[in-house]
Amino acid sequence: MEKRAHISGWTLPLLLILPQMAITVVFFYWPASQAIWQSFLREDAFGLASEFVGFENYVFLFEQPEYYRAMVTTVIFSTLVAFFSLACALLLATQADKNIRAGQAFKTLLIWPYAVAPAIAGVLWLFMFHPTLGTLSRPINALGINWNPMLNGNHAMTLLVLSATWKQISYNFLFFLAGLQSIPKSVIEAAAIDGAGPIRRFWTVIFPLLSPTTFFLLVVTIVYVFFETFGIIDAVTGGGPAGQTTTLVYKVYADGRLGGDLGGSAAQSVILMIIVIALTAVQFRYVERKVQY
């Protein structure tokens, strides 16, 4: 049963929620509404005047082939990062969940990458895989691959996927570990007695029971790839070569900040905002329905 405290009057409750409301208004509602307003405006090249153009920015956006290319890039990028960061984190979590020597140290070390700032993570990986300076590009070249993320779009994307995945594994690992630890031990023992080997046990009992966690992490990781990888992209490839690693978020920055098209950039932000709201809504509905076992 839920217990409710009864407070008479409005003053105290309002005062209590005021700080949170102020933060939300200043850092979300205000810029968001400005973005929506700006997406209907067109500014001149010098930023001296602007005129209301209705949906013209949106129409123009969907006529650009570059926008669709950024969409495809984003989908490929987020699919790869989501898959690898979830799979690696799950593998590591299942190993860490076993009673192993120095397990605590192992867990602590695995959490560290999460504390590294995205741009620094990007630079770190760039140094390792730099075509001329990188310690790892030499062995790759020795394998007969002409490694050059500066010129080859696929190589650039590979490098981005590596660094973005590396950073997100920690977070996913923590949640998977918590998820694994919340599965009653006796259920797994029952499966062992029921004749299921370790691999079958994993796929028929453990993985289905982790599905709420997996789904939650999938949504979080997609949101991460959409927005927080900006730092990594900016540090490693700057959206290149030739725009081949420009994702939707990076394009917002490139068009608005570098290209000076504030209206078009604002329109892109609004579309991104809608995507995130939709993702979050799906997550809440699913989690509420499905999380209780």
Binding site for another protein (CB under 8 A): 184, 186-187, 189-197, 200, 204-205, 208-209, 211, 292-293
Q: How far is the CB of 187 from another protein (least distance, A)?
A: 5
User: What is the longest distance spanned by two Cα atoms in the chain?
Assistant: 76
Instruction: Give whichever of 9 and 195 is closer to another protein, judged by the CB atom.
Output: 195
Taking only Cα atoms into account, the Rg of the chain, rounded to an integer number of angstroms, comes to 23
CA dist list (Å): 38 to 182, 208, 268: 47, 45, 11
Q: Which tokens in the block code for residue 141? A: 């070249």
Secondary structure of 48-100 in HEC code, one letter for each residue: CCEEECCCHHHHHHHHCHHHHHHHHHHHHHHHHHHHHHHHHHHHHHHHHHCCC
Q: How far is the CB of 209 from another protein (least distance, A)?
A: 6
Which position has the token pair 């999460």? Answer: 114
Q: How far is the CB of 288 from another protein (least distance, A)?
A: 15
Q: How far is the CB of 184 from another protein (least distance, A)?
A: 6
Instruction: Give whichever of 257 and 290 is closer to another protein, judged by the CB atom.
Output: 290
Instruction: Give whichever of 157 and 206 is closer to another protein, judged by the CB atom.
Output: 206
Contact 267, 61 (CB under 8 A): yes
Secondary structure percentages of the chain, helix, strand, coil, to 5: 75, 0, 25
Instruction: Give whichever of 16 and 190 is closer to another protein, judged by the CB atom.
Output: 190
Instruction: Give whichever of 187 and 282 is closer to another protein, judged by the CB atom.
Output: 187
Q: How far is the CB of 23 from another protein (least distance, A)?
A: 39
Instruction: Give whichever of 70 and 205 is closer to another protein, judged by the CB atom.
Output: 205
Q: Which tokens in the block code for residue 113? A: 């990458």
Q: How far is the CB of 203 from another protein (least distance, A)?
A: 12
